[in-house]
Structure 1
Amino acid sequence: MSSEHMQIGEVAARTELSLRTIRHYEDAGLVIPSARSQGGFRLYTEADVARLMVVRRMKPLGFTLDEMRSLLEATDRLDSDDELPPAEREELRGRIRGFEQATRRRVEDLRVQLARAEEFAAALAERLTRTTAP
């Protein structure tokens, strides 16, 4: 086995995703192992790990599998073809720009939720200090 290939366990450790989750993303067509070992084990490359990291980052922001697939298709197409017609290149860049804008909105929503959660935790702590038993 080439040193550039990793088995699923190493990929799971590097991405902090479970084996089950990685297999689910494979079944969904988001990340396909680049090769198989002679024994039939999935083998992944750094590019596969990078794709999994994109998915891992999108998941907590509420993006769907279809949205993840759309972004990965756009980045794959831009990365793989230097001869794209300008209109197609701009359409793909626009798709990525849409994801970037949606991500910024979702990050801001999470900041608001975090601030509210911190306020609530502080209020509970304050409540406990006011009602300590004698």
Structure 2
Amino acid sequence: MSDEPTRAHLQIGQVAERTELSIKTIRHYDEVGLVTPSARSAGGFRLYTEADIERLLVIRRMKPLGFTLEQMRELLDALEVLDDASSDPDERTRASAVVLECRTTATESCEKLRRQLDYAEEFTTLLGARVTVTTRD
């Protein structure tokens, strides 16, 4: 393969732009085995496909909800099983259970974040009222 990526592959900088993740974060996910680049250029540069980007986007969505790296790995593996029509039925059942568990956890995390956002907005309003009072004096 040449140093120029093919149209199907993106270099890490392009992936960082598309996913809004830092290059350092993408490299970390490679090092821990969450998203391994699909190819390498002749010069050794990581090359990513659209499927790799989709995996990174799943991780990016999970991160603020407090999922661990192991939970991320488990969900990504489950999604692969469900996307593979030839997967064993028992494997598909286990994968579905993982997805359901992650969905439940994500829903609970979203509710917690909404409460935290409500508190933050209340606080901002309180501070805004104090600034208004202070500037009138």
Partner of 2:113: 110
Structure 2 length normalisation: TM-score?
0.92
Pairwise CA distance, 1:133: 5.6
Q: Given the alignment, which residue of 78, 98, 102 partners 2:101?
A: 98
Structure 1's consecutive aligned runs of 4 or more residues displaced over 6 angstroms after TM superposition are: none
Give 1:78 shift.
Answer: 1.9
d(CA) in 2 for partners of 1:13, 1:84: 33
Aligned counterpart, 1:28: 32
Q: Report how many aligned residue pairs link the two structures.
A: 133
Local SS of the residue matching 2:86? coil
Asked if 1:19 corresponds to 2:23, the answer is yes
**AA matched with 1:17:** L
The C-alpha deviation readout for 1:106-128, integer Å capped at 9, x for no partner, is 01111100001000000011111
Q: What's the CA shift for 1:130?
A: 1.5
CA shift for structure 1 position 88: 2.5
Percent identity reads 53
Q: What is the aligned counterpart of 2:76 among 72, 77, 80?
A: 72
Q: Residue 88 of structure 1 aligns to which amino acid in structure 2? A: E
Q: Which residue of 2 aligns with 1:38?
A: 42
What secondary structure is seen at the aligned counterpart in 1 of 2:135? coil
Distance in structure 2 (CA, Å) of the matches to 1:88 and 1:18: 34
Q: Which residue of 1 aligns with 2:7?
A: 3
**Cross-structure match for 1:87:** 90
How far is the alpha carbon of 1:68 from its aligned partner? 0.4
User: Given the two structures, how large is their TM-score scaled by the length of structure 1?
Assistant: 0.94
**Given residue 94 of structure 2, which amino acid in structure 1 is its aligned partner?**
E
Deviation, structure 1 residue 21: 0.4
Q: Which runs of 5+ in 1 are unaligned?
A: none
Structure 2's unaligned 5+ residue stretches are none
Say if 2:81 and 2:91, in contact at 8 Å, map to a contact too.
Answer: no
**CA RMSD, Structure 1 to Structure 2 (Å):** 1.2
The whole-number CA distance in structure 2 between the counterparts of 1:67 and 1:79 is 18
Distance in 1, Cα, partners of 2:87 & 2:22: 36
| Structure 1 residue 45 displacement after superposition | 0.1
